[in-house]
């Protein structure tokens, strides 16, 4: 857990330096824009202190918090309940106080689907997703809940890829299959949506490229990249050059922030303000 969200009047004093991170900058830009007297702070919590931190946040009247690696799974032990997708994924990145209870949600995949819906409705779509880590799990569960008919998981490690594929096959109403990514991948012609949910392209490895045959990417496909830094990855560049509709990693980050703010404050924040704040951070 490293981000805690609470009303400003509840802040007393922190005897530790509080680092700013991009999510904090984005969320606080929305708070200012909507004249919300709230704060969103970045706080490091070590693995052994997680339970105490969650209990502390509750007794101090926090409205909720985001949590990230390594706390996304472990935090569940200390919560009172889970939303549907968080329960399916077995991972929480956003905790919300509801009627005095801590409820765990997962906003990563929901943020992604909000961005995707700006370009296409995932219902009845065929999706290829590269990756099988936390982001891929959140996104593939959420696109399947949104009605995608077919999800192909393409991943380097077979164990992780098969585990995610089994989750989709067992728990979600879509057809799912796995392709071990050990050679150049050809995107099937009938694919509607191609998603990079690996960390390939993340700063500082900005020259990295996904190993797939660019000739199999067509302008009819929507392409999404989760990498927020830099937002214009080689995949984004290649897909635009091919004439595809493209979603960059900032879209997902902004939309998961929008959903978090809605959960905590009940306000629907302006995503353009949040995106501008992020663009400033990432140049
Ligand atoms: P994980 O470590 O859980 O998963 C990483 C995935 O990338 C795995 O599938 C891994 O494959 C794959 N991978 C990494 N390097 C390579 C490589 N060189 N070749 C092939 N596959 C590779 O990370 P997360 O899922 O949590 O995060 C993935 C990315 O998503 C990060 O870059 C993160 O910044 C981004 N993200 C963006 C968000 C947003 O809002 N825009 C939100 C959350 C995450 P393998 O299983 O074989 O190791």
Positions of CATH 3.40.50.720 in the chain: 109-247
Ligand 1, atom 29: nearest CA belongs to which residue?
A: 199
Q: How confident is the model at residue 16 (pLDDT cuts 50, 70, 90)?
A: very low
The Cα angle at residue 160 between residues 150 and 109, in degrees rounded to 5: 55
Segment 59-86 mean pLDDT: 93
Positions of CATH 3.40.50.10860 in the chain: 5-106+252-282
- Dihedral sign, CA of 114, 158, 198, 259? positive
Is the per-residue pLDDT at 87 higher than 50?
yes
Is the per-residue pLDDT at 11 higher than 50?
no
Q: How confident is the model at residue 97 (pLDDT cuts 50, 70, 90)?
A: very high
Query: Do residues 164 and 137 lie in contact, with contact meaning Cβ atoms separated by under 8 Å?
Result: yes
Ligand 1, atom 31: nearest CA belongs to which residue?
A: 199
Q: What is the pLDDT of residues 48-72, one digit of tens each?
A: 999 999 999 999 989 999 998 889 9
How do strand 38-42 and strand 3-7 relate by DSSP bridges? Answer: antiparallel
Structure tokens at 16: 């530790």
Phi, psi (rounded to 5 degrees) for 154: -115, 115
d(CA 200, CA 223): 15
Structure tokens at 280: 């400033």
CATH number of 5-106+252-282: 3.40.50.10860
Structure tokens at 5: 């969200």
Atom of ligand 1 nearest to the CA of 131: 9
Ligand 1, atom 2: nearest CA belongs to which residue?
A: 133
Is the per-residue pLDDT at 13 higher than 70?
no
**Best CA proximity match to 165, nearest among 129, 201, 219, 112:** 129
d(CA 50, CA 105): 17
Structure tokens at 79: 């919560």
Atom of ligand 1 nearest to the CA of 111: 40
Atom of ligand 1 nearest to the CA of 253: 40
Mean pLDDT of the residues in the chain: 92
Distance 198 CA to ligand 1 centre (A): 3
**Which residues lie closer than 8 Å to 204 by C-beta, 6 or more apart?**
none
Segment 162-183 mean pLDDT: 97
d(CA 228, CA 255): 12
Q: Which residues does the annotation mark as catalytic?
A: 72
Fold classification of 109-247 is: Rossmann fold (3.40.50)
Q: Where are the beta strands (DSSP E) in the chain?
A: 3-7, 38-42, 64-66, 81-82, 94-98, 101-105, 126-130, 150-155, 175-180, 193-196, 222-225, 245-247
Name all residues whose Cβ lies below 6 A of ligand 1. Answer: 108, 111, 131-136, 155-157, 160, 197-200, 202, 226-228, 249, 252-253, 256
Query: Do residues 161 and 132 lie in contact, with contact meaning Cβ atoms separated by under 8 Å?
Result: yes
Q: Using CB atoms within 10 A of its CB, is residue 254 exposed (0-12), middle (13-18) or buried (19+)?
A: buried
Phi, psi (rounded to 5 degrees) for 220: -75, -15
d(CA 76, CA 99): 18
Q: How confident is the model at residue 21 (pLDDT cuts 50, 70, 90)?
A: confident
Phi, psi (rounded to 5 degrees) for 228: -90, -20
**Best CA proximity match to 225, nearest among 204, 189, 200:** 200
Q: How confident is the model at residue 6 (pLDDT cuts 50, 70, 90)?
A: low
d(CA 64, CA 281): 24
CA distances, 66 to each of 92, 137, 178, 263 (Å): 8, 18, 31, 11
């Amino acid at each position: 857990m490293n981000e805690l969200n609470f009303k400003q009047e509840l802040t007393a004093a922190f005897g530790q330096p509080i680092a700013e991170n991009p999510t904090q900058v984005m969320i606080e830009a929305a708070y200012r824009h909507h004249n919300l007297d709230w704060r969103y702070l970045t706080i490091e919590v070590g693995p052994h202190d997680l339970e105490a931190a969650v209990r502390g946040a509750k007794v101090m009247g926090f409205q909720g918090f985001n949590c990230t690696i390594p706390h996304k799974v472990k935090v569940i032990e200390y919560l009172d309940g889970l939303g549907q997708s968080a329960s399916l994924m077995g991972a929480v990145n956003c905790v919300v106080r509801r009627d005095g209870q801590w409820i765990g949600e997962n906003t990563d995949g929901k943020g992604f689907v909000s961005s995707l819906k700006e370009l296409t409705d995932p219902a009845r779509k065929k999706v290829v997703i590269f990756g099988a880590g936390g982001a891929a799990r959140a996104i593939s569960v959420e696109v399947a809940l949104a009605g995608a008919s077919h999800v192909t998981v393409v991943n380097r490690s077979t164990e992780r890829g098969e585990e995610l594929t089994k989750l989709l096959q067992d728990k979600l109403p879509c057809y799912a299959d796995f392709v071990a990514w050990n050679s150049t991948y050809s995107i099937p012609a009938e694919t509607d949506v191609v998603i990079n949910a690996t960390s390939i392209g993340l700063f500082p490895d900005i020259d990295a490229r996904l190993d797939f045959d660019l000739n199999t990417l067509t302008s009819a496909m929507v392409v999404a990249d989760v990498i927020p830094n830099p937002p214009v990855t080689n995949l984004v560049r290649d897909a635009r050059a091919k004439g595809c509709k493209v979603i960059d990693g900032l879209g997902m980050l902004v939309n998961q922030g929008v959903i978090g703010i809605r959960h905590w404050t009940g306000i629907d924040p302006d995503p353009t303000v949040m995106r501008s704040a992020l663009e400033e951070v990432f140049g």
